[in-house]
Amino acid sequence: MALFIVKKILNNNVLIAENEEFKEVVLIGKGIGFNKKRGDQLSEEFAEKIFVLKDKEKQEQYKSLLPQMEAKTFDAIIDALNYIKNQTHTSLDEHTQVALTDHLMFSIYRTMKGISIKNPFLFETKSIYPMEFKIASEVVKIVNEAVKIQLPVDEIGFIALHIHSAIMHKNVLEINKDSQLISQLVNVIEEAFQAKIDKHSIDYIRLIRHLRFAIDRVHVGDELGEISKLTYTLQHEYPFCYNLSWKLIKIMQNALKKPVGNAEAVYLTMHLQRIYSKILTN
């Protein structure tokens, strides 16, 4: 059983400690900080949870967040983090742990004060990241029940992006940029079609999922195989959607600063044509 030396008590349930193996850690447990002082020894068995934060900056951020939280808020966030970890089978890295703690804490405070932030990419997030969205929905339920509040549905989308960030080990800002790019591409499509696309249609969901995977392929330098015969057919049978697909590809190239494979135009044209033909017949 590991022994820890108490460095700082943040509140009755949280303290900072250190030992030879882990260096500095956050120890969490009911009453773990009660009547403790700097230099006291503490056995590992008294800690319900141990967070090892190696990155000094993340360490300081986390330590500054914890004392601001009420016990029920803190417990809800820890339960939410554990739920995400179990559902994704992913060990949350330091950045994700701190970012999610920060986001959930301020989501709770905003809701308590009646402040809501609209999520313009909510439906797209649900369609592009269905698994993450489902997990985020449960996270919101965990928080709502523990803290006795009602987080807005927009928060599910924001939390889903954090979860995707944890799974893919990608910065959430980068994922947000990709979501904004998809939204921009959809606006260009609607402008070209001179019509609003039914966001609940299966064709729209397939389109934005294709755009998401196309962006992922560009990030990693992967390309779809060439289909020369189909390219010729689509170019001549559906010139409007084929030219629009190339317009979208150029926007993606400018935004991502990387080349987009020619074959993407073929698949984009097929997605666009399915949607456009239904708009024309309605």
The separation between the first and the last C-alpha atoms of the chain, rounded to the nearest angstrom, is 70
Cα angle at 158 between 153 and 161, to 5 degrees? 130
Side chain identity, residue 187:
N
Domains of the chain with bracketed CATH: 1-52 (2.30.24.10), 69-170 (1.10.1790.10), 174-281 (1.10.1790.10)
Please give the pLDDT value at position 225. Answer: 62
Q: What is the pLDDT of residue 277?
A: 93
pLDDT under 70: residue ranges of the chain: 1, 48-59, 61-63, 65-68, 94, 224-228
**230-259 pLDDT, tens per residue?**
777 888 899 999 999 999 999 999 999 999
Looking at residue 1, its pLDDT comes to 64
pTM of the full structure? 0.77
